[in-house]
Amino acid sequence: MFRFPSFSTLKTLPRTKVSGNKGLIAGLCAVFFLATGSLAQAFDTVILDPGHGGHDRGASIGYVFEKHLALDTARRVEQLLRKQGLKVVMTRSTDVFIPLGGRSAIGNRDGNAIFVSLHYNYNKSGSGHGLETFYCHDRSYMLAGYIQAYLIQETRLQNRGVKHANFHVIRATTKNPAVLVECGFVSNSAERTGMMTGLYRERIAVGVVKGILAFKQAR
């Protein structure tokens, strides 16, 4: 059974400004959500969306492909969620390409669900580092905040915050709360070395799952 960090632990998470007027740090927003209980909803299904796949490698350096990292991380999240009694739907469970429209269609297919898309990041300079969680619609902000807070608590990586974005899979998934998680930079040599290990991906998975469970408990 998961143990959640205390309010005092969440309050000490690194400060990160986010886009728009939602200037809450990821940790403090989790405390705020617990206090207000706003925007939460009942759900019994988690739709996991491992980014890319098939001919679409995603971010890559050498033989390190985002599509493989995302799928392995999603499988770990799936196993942990099933142990907690939640239903899990995978947009892909093998190395196949699923168009963006197909992913969001799956995200809208089931009621009483949330949608979590898992990705690994990249920037040309190689200087980018840390974790960030994106949402598009306001109803998804709370879920993004919880996941980001617990990712940082589990990994102690740089907190890049909760950010608004217009990515297709979280914009077009309108029936359920939907977020996109960037689990580290393939282009950063230190993070790339870490994400090639099972321990790194397991910590990411545990953080995502804790965030999902905390969101569920906050309703």
Average pLDDT, the chain: 87
Q: How many residues comprise the chain?
A: 219
Backbone angles phi, psi at 35, to 5 degrees: -75, -40
Range in 11-20, 71-80, 197-206 with the lowest mean pLDDT: 11-20
CATH code for the domain defined by 44-217: 3.40.630.40
Q: Are β-strands 159-164 and 131-135 bridged in parallel, bridged antiparallel, or unpaired?
A: parallel
Q: Is 109 exposed, middle or buried (0-12, 13-18, 19+ CB in 10 A)?
A: middle
CA 169 from chain center: how many Å? 13
Q: Comparing C-alpha atoms, which of 11, 27, 25 is closest to residue 210?
A: 27
For the packed helices 141-155 and 26-36, what is the interaxial angle rounded to 10 degrees? 130
Structure-block tokens of residue 161: 């915050």
pLDDT tens column, 75-107: 999 999 999 999 999 999 999 999 999 999 999
pLDDT at 26: 42
pLDDT at 219: 63
| pLDDT band of 155, cuts 50, 70, 90 | very high
Domain ranges within the chain, ordered by starting residue? 44-217
pLDDT tens column, 134-146: 999 999 999 999 9
- Those residues with Cβ within 8 angstroms of residue 141's Cβ, 6 or more apart along the chain or in another chain: 22, 29, 39, 135, 162
What does the alpha-carbon distance between residue 183 and residue 69 come to, in Å, rounded to a whole number? 9
pLDDT tens column, 24-49: 344 444 444 444 444 556 899 999 99
Which is more confident, 183 or 24? 183
Quick one: average pLDDT of 202-216?
98
Distinct helix (H) and strand (E) counts, the chain: 8, 8
